[in-house]
Amino acid sequence: MNISPLDRIKEAWHELYPGTESNNKLELLLNELETARISNHFGLQPEGWYKEAVVYSLYVDFFAGTFDGLVGKLDHLKELGATCIWLLPILDSPMRDAGFDIRDYRNIRADLLGLPADTTAEVKQQAFRNFLGEAHARNLKVIFDIAMNHTSEEHPWFVESRKGPENPYRNYYIWNKDTNKYKETRLLFKGMCPSNWEKSGDWYFFHRFFEFQPDLNYKNPDVLIEISRILLFWLSQGLDGFRADAIPYIWKEDGTDCENLPQTHTIIKIFRAVLDHVRPNTLLLAEACQPPQEVVKYFGNGDECHAGYHFPLMPMIFKSMAIEDATPVLGVLDPSVTPGIAPENQWFMFLRLHDELTLEMVTPEDRAIIHGHYCKDKRWDFRVGEGISARLAELLDRDPRKIGLAYSIMLTLPGTPIIYYGDEFARLNDEDFYARFKIETGKDDTRYFVRGPMDWKKTATELEDPGSLTSVVNSSLRKQLSIRGQWPVFGRGDNHWATLEVSPREGHEKPVLAYFRSMPGQRVLVLNNLSGREITIKAIDDNNTEFVNLFNGKLVETPFTIAPYGYLWLEA
């Protein structure tokens, strides 16, 4: 961008808040930014570091108990091949929505630090800085979630807001005398929340998620300044990036569906400029469960998010594996569905996360196929057929071949891969944790099947058995990650679909998902056999007949075979 970050902020600010009455607030923000820039001693980050990253997503308490415990696991993550840790919610919270209901944006939960509840914020922040230092010493980046759309109802702003229309914090949230506003807004938690409005006294407040998560009101410039200050605070602690949670819903306008509105993009431009001014190349990651054509808009012209999740690709990987045909993946990555993105931008890829296998972004026909194939227990159903709550190993029949194949696809298609904690050990659904949560909260949130604490003693025992599911999956994934780490082409290279002559082939199906990844000096052919039968590769469209297997360095010549649910990464 040729325009300075501060000028970008000024331009965006006047779009949101025209008129002179907000100018003093703008000047206040600009002055605070300059102070933050001068005092920040961490320096700019490497350009595009997130493009070659392997992200490991974890809950501190479930994975390691405390941050001290997590420090003891950093070498495990490094050896696995992770280069970036995504900390699932760690900020102070009543924990009614796994920490996405934030009570204090600057305060880390004391239990995660192994400290008493009454420990001062500064002591907790120093403990977190110590953790960041340990991670950075191992060249591990650290990012975490900032819920920008809503807070907990226990946040001090909302506690004040609830006191009445005259309270100065009333306008931090969206209140109305009735529910006749934003009527076109869909229910995100269908089956769990009957309305986007919750009554409090004689008034109603608006929420997109649970009723205890009131939405912030960005029409009030004070809210935007407060969230900007929170970004500045965590930059000053040394954080490497932010996962911007639920950003499509930030701005509301009556008469619209309150999603992806132009003003939302204007707000994101301000947040990006805040980061660019104080510590360039700090990652801003869009959590926008939207079609790719909408997600790419959150990249802007290099002035919004650096990266975004490719939500529709994940279910198409599962569909391709279910029907043993590459067509669904080819279709969702076609430029008509997934537009091209600028070199500095990146898709983030995942097989499983802390949430359900979402089917929100697929057609009803695809939803029926995927849900019908993978929802093998009716208790796994989430949001009345719009998702499936299950661990990767459960979805893939506890079959190490299928799990290895799924990872091969995720680790080699264009994008930055995310590994969800425990999946490297083929962790299964946590029945006890789900049941306990249901009893304690009274909510049937099936996503808790895929959460819960690691049993490291059991895991260690299983790893000692080379034939166990845990050991086979872990060994396979480590090999894949080791190769990926040696070949930057997987993070930065172009993608070109390969045309194959294969046997056997039935009808018009494409049993092998095949593609070239290329950049100057590197070219790799990836072959993923989606079928449960051996496939012979008789010819490849570029007439190349000799390749080198990246896993063992051996020469591979056509024709050659791929085992059922097998994969090959070949230097071309």
> What value does the mean pLDDT take over residues 264-275?
98
- The confidence score (pLDDT) of residue 541 equals 87
- What is the rounded CA–CA span in Å between residue 170 and residue 196? 18
Please tell me the total number of residues recorded for the chain in this structure. Answer: 572
DSSP output for 509-539: ---EEEEEEEETTEEEEEEEE-SSS-EEEEE
pLDDT tens by residue, 181-212: 999 999 888 778 889 999 999 999 999 999 99
CA dihedral of residues 145, 150, 152, 157 (deg, nearest 10): 120
pLDDT above 90: residue 149: yes
pLDDT above 80: residue 129: yes
Known active-site residue 245 = yes
Q: What are the boundaries of each domain within the chain?
A: 1-39+219-243+250-309, 150-215, 494-571
Give bridge partners of residue 204 from the DSSP assignment: 176, 199
Q: Which H, E and C letters describe 264-321, residue by residue?
A: HHHHHHHHHHHHHHHCCCCEEEECCCCCHHHHHHHHCCCCCCCEEECCCHHHHHHHHH
- The amino acid at 482: S
- What is the rounded CA–CA span in Å between residue 571 and residue 565? 20
Averaged pLDDT of the chain = 95
> Bigger pLDDT: 384 or 252?
252
Task: Find the helix packing angle between 262-278 and 23-39, rounded to 10°.
Answer: 40
- The confidence score (pLDDT) of residue 44 equals 87
> What value does the mean pLDDT take over residues 214-222?
98
- The confidence score (pLDDT) of residue 19 equals 85
* Continuous segment of H or E residues that includes residue 556: strand 555-557
- The confidence score (pLDDT) of residue 239 equals 97
pLDDT above 90: residue 326: yes
pLDDT tens by residue, 40-50: 999 889 999 99
- The confidence score (pLDDT) of residue 1 equals 57
> What value does the mean pLDDT take over residues 517-530?
97
State the Rg of the chain over Cα.
Answer: 24
Extract the runs of DSSP E, i.e. beta strands, from 66-216.
84-87, 91-92, 104-108, 141-147, 175-176, 197-200, 203-206
**Of 523, 59, 9, whose CA–CA distance to 275 is shortest?**
9
pLDDT tens by residue, 458-515: 999 999 999 999 999 999 999 999 999 999 999 999 999 999 999 987 776 899 999 9
Task: Give the strand order in the sheet containing 500-503.
Answer: 500-503, 535-540, 560-562
pLDDT tens by residue, 543-552: 888 999 999 9
**Of 3, 49, 5, whose CA–CA distance to 29 is shortest?**
5
Catalytic residue among 61, 259, 276, 287: 287
Question: What CATH fold (topology level) applies to the domain 150-215?
Answer: Oligo-1,6-glucosidase; domain 2 (3.90.400)
- The confidence score (pLDDT) of residue 272 equals 98
Catalytic residue among 52, 97, 198, 245: 245
Q: Is 411 within 8 Å of 481 (Cβ atoms)? A: yes
pLDDT tens by residue, 19-60: 888 899 999 999 999 999 999 999 889 999 999 999 999 999
494-571 — its CATH code? 2.60.40.1180
Q: Please, which pLDDT band fits residue 421 given cuts at 50, 70 and 90?
A: very high
**Of 2, 18, 6, whose CA–CA distance to 263 is shortest?**
18
β pairing state of 203-206 and 175-176: antiparallel
- What is the rounded CA–CA span in Å between residue 177 and residue 522? 62
